[in-house]
Structures are given as structure tokens and as C-alpha cells.
Homo-oligomer: A and B are copies of this chain.
Amino acid sequence: MCAAAPSLLFYADTHASRDLLYFGRFECHDPFIAFEVGGKKVAVLNALEFGRGLKESAFDEILSLETLQSELRVRYPDTPRFGPADIIALLGTKLGIGSWRVPEEFPAGLLERLRARHLRVEVAAEAVLPAREIKTAREAAAIRAGNRVAAAGFVAAEGLLRRAKIAGKKLVLDGRPLTSERVRLAIEIACLEAGGLALDTIVAGGDQACDPHCRGQGPLRANALIIVDIFPRHTASGYHGDMTRTYLKGRASAEQRALVEAVAAAQKAARRVLRAGVISAAVHQECVNVFAARGYETKATPKGSVGFFHGTGHGLGLAVHEAPRVSAPVQEPLKQGAVVTVEPGLYYPGLGGCRIEDVAWLTETGHQLLSKHPYAWEIG
């Protein structure tokens, strides 16, 4: 007797598990069971999702949760209520699935309940859907569409900054202070109109921008660097764009100019070596070298780090952050077809922060940019 390979098994909602979204091409806000058996993708959906699953998903088969629950009630008439472990055990019996393989992120509680039923379940040490890291032309086009949405956001932000008046250190537009919130609202509306949804957009000026994930709040200041980072989901495809531009309304100081030029140079240096086969850490090191050569120090302080203290980039697709990482600890080569951001940044409270981010699709000889928007940053 030959043991069949274990069946891949998911139990998640597709917000928490983008692997499951990739697997079934079906968005669902509540956790559900999905698995692979004999090359077929199968989902177990409740009545609320069943009809939609038939119409919208890429599953080869949809089983009714309520029907399986009825079968369990016949088998175990004294059990008041059945959970996912009961359903999975029943599926194993019915379909002759002897062992399961679950992703790293599978819920620990369910794993324990399955094993308590003596089911054989192994937790995968590697990505369960490695193909997700390699983007097809269609996926690259979807990411490009996501970045077109982001670019519409930059156009809106630049419009407000251009129209704003400088009053001392303040920026005023239509008689009111120009705030991070107002710029973010304009970006979000522009993204919606361009066919995407921008979640948690960053519009952070001055020292706020020195916390790279600070969303930004309150009045924006003249002559201060403003980081704008937009990573919208393209509604039609579900894929994300992710771009960053840094602006300054007014006149930049020599130090600010040098900072922005250093970040732009670091991005160029990283892009010069960015291709399939290059070691991830080596791409990151290019940025580190540019900053070191120009005298920009990176160090930790009790209030947080200064300098260049994040990775150079990350994979992009159905999730904003996914494999692969482009950063110092990653000694593996980048793969052909991977899509990664290239986003060096420098952050010094007092001087401000700058980050420039584009998106690259890796080929054997280099990469193709999937993002496009001008880099002009000083707005008079």
C-alpha cells in the first residue's frame, strides 16, 4: 500500500490568510475549511456563502457545511454541536484522506483538536503555495493597476500641496490649516475613483515621518519633508500597489536636499543589482553602502532608531507584505518572477524623514518597474 501525499488543509478567513485567497480566489470574512484532494480544490461553505462560492470562487467543488453537519448528527445523535474538527474528521473518513498538511499559520487550537482525534496533521515548514511568490504576467498587470491607483493618490496629494499657501511655518488651504488628515482624505477619494481602496495611507510630516509607519496627523508644516506612502488594493483584482514619494512644500535646506538625494541614489544603487538570482541581502547592502559613503549613520536610541533601520523591500501581491523580504538577514537569492518593493529611507528627528518606493518584477537580466510616477518633490 502506498501512502498518499497529505492533503493541504486550510481553516481561515481570507483577510487573515492570503494563501487561502490565492488558493480559492474567493473572499470570505469568516473562517471556512478548504482543502486539496486528488488535484481538486474543495471548500466547505455554510448556507450564507454557498451560492456565492459556486458563482464567484475558483474551487472545483463546494460542499455544504449544513449537509455535513446533518451527517454528523446522524452518526453522533448525542453531540449537541459540531465544530470544524468534527467536519474535518468526517471529510477524512468519507474521502479517504489519511493525513493532512496545514500552513504555518493554521490555528493552534484546531491543530490540537484534530490531533486529539488521532488525525495525522503535519505543519508545513515552508510556504504551502510557493507559486504565490512567482507572479504571472496577469498578476504583474494587476499589481501595476494597483500602482496606477496609488499614482492617482499622489496626483491628488500634490494638487493640495501645490494649492496650499505658506503662512510662516504653516500651510493653509481654503482658509484652513492643511493637515495630514485632509491630504489623506483627498488621496483616499482619488484612489476610490481610480478603482482601488487605500487603507492606512501614510501622510506624515516632520518628525512624525521618522516613525516610518506613523500615519501622520495634524497640521503639515512648510519647508518640512512629508512622506506619503500609498498601498491600495486594486478592487477588481484584489492585488496591491505600494509606492512612496517624499515631498516638501516651500524651500528645501541643503541638508534636506542631500537627504533626498541620498535616498534616491540608494534606490538607484539597489535597482542596479536587482535581478533574479541576486542574494536578497546584497540588494539591501547596496543601500547601506550608499548611506555609509555619504556619512548617514544608523543607530538605535532609547526613543527609537535613526538612519536606515528597515529593510529595502518586501514582496507584494494579494498582501501588502509577503514573501520575499529584501533585507540584511536574508541570504537567499531572489526568484525570477518575484515582485518586490525597493524603498530605502532615512530618518533623523529634527531633519525629517525621506523614503522613495517603487515596485519591481524580477527577470533573469534585471527587472521591470510596475510603478510609475514622477519624483519631483519640492513644491514651491
**A residues near B, CB below 8 A?**
15-16, 27-30, 46-52, 54-56, 64, 66-67, 80-81, 102-112, 123-125, 185, 188-189, 192-193, 197, 199-200, 210-214, 300, 303-305, 309-310, 320-321, 329, 331
Contact = CB atoms under 8 A, between A and B. Distances in A.
A344 to B, nearest CB: 13
13 contacts: A16-B16, A29-B200, A46-B310, A48-B212, A54-B303, A102-B108, A103-B108, A103-B109, A104-B109, A105-B107, A106-B108, A109-B123, A109-B125
A23 B376 CA distance: 42
Contacts of A51: 210-211, 303-305
B104 A50 contact: no
A13 to B, nearest CB: 9
A318 to B, nearest CB: 13
A305 B50 contact: yes
Contacts of A67: 300
Copies of this chain in its oligomeric complex? 2
A105 B105 CA distance: 8
Contact of A15 (B15, B112, B329): B15
A320 B30 CA distance: 10
A27 B80 CA distance: 38
Contacts of A309: 47-48
A50 B108 contact: no
Nearest to A64: B300
Contacts of A108: 102-108, 111, 123
Contacts of A320: 29
A300 B111 contact: no
Given A47-B304, A47-B309, 9 more contacts: A29-B321, A48-B212, A64-B300, A102-B108, A103-B108, A104-B108, A106-B109, A111-B111, A112-B123
A240 to B, nearest CB: 11
A242 to B, nearest CB: 11
A124 B110 CA distance: 11
A16 B319 CA distance: 12
A320 B15 CA distance: 12
A330 to B, nearest CB: 9
Nearest to A199: B197
A305 B304 CA distance: 55
A319 B345 CA distance: 33
A291 to B, nearest CB: 15
A211 B300 contact: no
Contacts of A102: 108
A80 B110 CA distance: 32
A164 to B, nearest CB: 20
Contacts of A30: 321
Contact of A47 (B27, B185, B305): B305
Contacts of A52: 211, 213-214, 304
